[in-house]
Amino acid sequence: MKRFHWSVLSASVILAVAVNPVFAASKNNVSTQKTVTASAVIVPAQVSELGFLISGIAREIPVKEGDTVKADQTLMVLDTPELQFAVDAARADVRAAQAKEEIRRNEVIKKYRINYITFTVKKLRLPVPHEEIDIANARVQEARASVAVARANLAQGTLSAPHDGTIVSIRVIPGEFVRANQAMVTLATLDTLQIETTDLSERDVPNVHVGDSADIFVEALNRNISGTVIGISPIANTVDGDVVFKVTIAPDTQPEGLLWGMTAVVEIKSGE
């Protein structure tokens, strides 16, 4: 009986040793996926605050708030008669320089032909005097460069759309004075909205990676949207004393009714 008891005990020990490694392995294979939850806000993918580098009177505003515009479309024009005059004067200088060049060219060629006949009798070779023509041509090129500069200055009086979008706000009306380096028009891509977190803690940001999937609950629409993390700010912000990082999420769809400024709650699922 003692021998039988010892055999059963030994078998139990062997069985425990055999089972434990398998259990440990299955324990190590448990998924380490983490979920990070944060509040968020809906924002356009691109927002541009547009203004002028010069001051002047708003002469023309061919768009209004709510209009959809294309890249390079004119949004506002200042009244800049002095800049237009500079362009006209520079063009006149080009015409004058071209006329002088033509006159000088004819004079040089005429002088060369007379001297050529004289020196041919003496059997000498006379080089063509290109230098004087080149100087006259250089003055024409200089005048043309002045036109380019004047046109560039004139272009500063026209505000154009840098990208496709919707006119969100216009802060001036025709006839009002516009100051330099102040935003006069806000242009945003309201047809392409994104989600930005507002309180994602510094403790959670290490668990978030570009490419992670996210569930977005838009409170105003009472709707869930799926999305993907496309950006993580490398700089922290401080909100109510907490250090937070902005994470940007691109939604897979743009549901009807989704508007700039709506709030949301996001759950980001770490890919690790």
User: Do residues 152 and 171 both lie within one domain?
Assistant: yes
Residue 11 is assigned to a structural domain of this protein: no
- If one counts the domains in the chain, the total is 2
- What would the two tokens of residue 73 be? 């479309």
Any idea which of 49-58, 146-155, 228-237 has the lowest mean pLDDT?
Answer: 146-155
Residue 261 is assigned to a structural domain of this protein: yes
Neighbours of 184 (CB within 10 A): 20
Instruction: Quote the percentage of the chain above a pLDDT of 90.
Output: 57
Phi first, then psi, for residue 232 (nearest 5°) are: -130, 120
The model's pTM is 0.66
Residue 28 is assigned to a structural domain of this protein: no
Residue 234 is assigned to a structural domain of this protein: yes
User: Do residues 240 and 263 both lie within one domain?
Assistant: yes
Termini Cα distance of the chain: 55
pLDDT for position 92? 84
Give the pLDDT band (50/70/90) at residue 186: very high
Give the pLDDT band (50/70/90) at residue 195: very high
Range of the domain at 198: 35-45+191-269
pLDDT for position 27? 45
User: Do residues 82 and 138 both lie within one domain?
Assistant: yes
Q: Which amino acid is at 140?
A: V
pLDDT for position 19? 41
pLDDT for position 11? 41
Q: Which of 124, 157, 188 marks a domain boundary?
A: 188
* Residue 59 exposed, middle or buried by CB count within 10 Å (0-12, 13-18, 19+): middle
Residues in the chain: 272
CATH number of residue 41's parent domain: 2.40.30.170
pLDDT for position 23? 38
2: helix, coil or strand? helix
- What would the two tokens of residue 89 be? 């004067």
Of 227, 225, 226, 188, nearest to 210 (Cα)? 227
Concatenated DSSP letters of 37-77: EEEEEEEES-EEEEE-SS-EEEEE----TT-EE-TT-EEEE
Mean pLDDT of 27-45: 80
DSSP 8-class letter at 261? T
Any idea which of 6-20, 32-46, 84-98, 165-179 has the lowest mean pLDDT?
Answer: 6-20
pLDDT for position 173? 96
